[in-house]
């Protein structure tokens, strides 16, 4: 997808994470598979943003693309009492600013930026967190088997949201 398609997209699926840090690469893995899936509706686009999601979301707030109605963010998370590969939605209105790091391995957008997108730009913002199993100290491009097995389920879930 060309970046210019952002201006005409109704739905954006944004996979964020570092593909060189094991399971943190789950967001990009999901985005790439969604982008290639024939079930992705017209007007919907999926992007692997790596760790640059804050910059794109800031651009969305300032540019206010008229067609954009929904953003789906897929990101790795590390929470106690969750199973690797488990995924769930996070309601941005329920996240306290000091708790944002509980949901993300890397530099995630501020709660204020997320709320601004949702409220001021009138965009349906959906955040899907995926429990990690392994985030290496060294570089490692491989997802663990639990995360790799969860990716098709997450892709199906994302495509269901796109079809709503």
Most confident range, picked from 9-13, 108-112, 137-141: 9-13
The DSSP letter of residue 91 is -
- Give me the number of domains the chain comprises: 1
Residues 122-134: tens digit of each pLDDT = 789 899 999 999 8
Q: What are phi and psi of 160, to 5 degrees?
A: -65, -45
CA distance 30 to 154: 7
- pTM for the model stands at 0.86
Say which CATH number the domain at 139 has: 3.40.50.1450
Residue span of the structural domain in which 17 resides: 3-163
């Amino acid at each position: 997808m060309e970046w210019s398609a952002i201006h005409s997209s109704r739905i954006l699926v944004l996979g964020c994470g570092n593909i060189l840090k094991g399971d943190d690469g789950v967001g990009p893995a999901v985005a790439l598979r969604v982008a290639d899936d024939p079930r992705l509706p017209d007007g919907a686009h999926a992007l692997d943003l790596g760790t640059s999601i804050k910059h794109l979301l800031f651009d969305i707030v300032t540019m206010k693309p008229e067609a954009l109605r929904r953003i789906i963010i897929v990101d790795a998370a590390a929470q106690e009492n969750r199973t690797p590969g488990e995924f769930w939605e996070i309601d941005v209105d329920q996240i306290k600013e000091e708790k944002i790091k509980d949901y993300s391995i890397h530099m995630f957008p501020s709660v204020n930026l997320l709320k601004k997108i949702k409220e001021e730009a009138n965009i349906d913002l959906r955040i899907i967190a995926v429990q990690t199993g392994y985030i290496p100290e060294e570089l490692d491009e491989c997802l663990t088997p639990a995360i790799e097995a969860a990716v098709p389920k997450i892709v199906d879930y994302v495509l269901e949201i796109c079809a709503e």
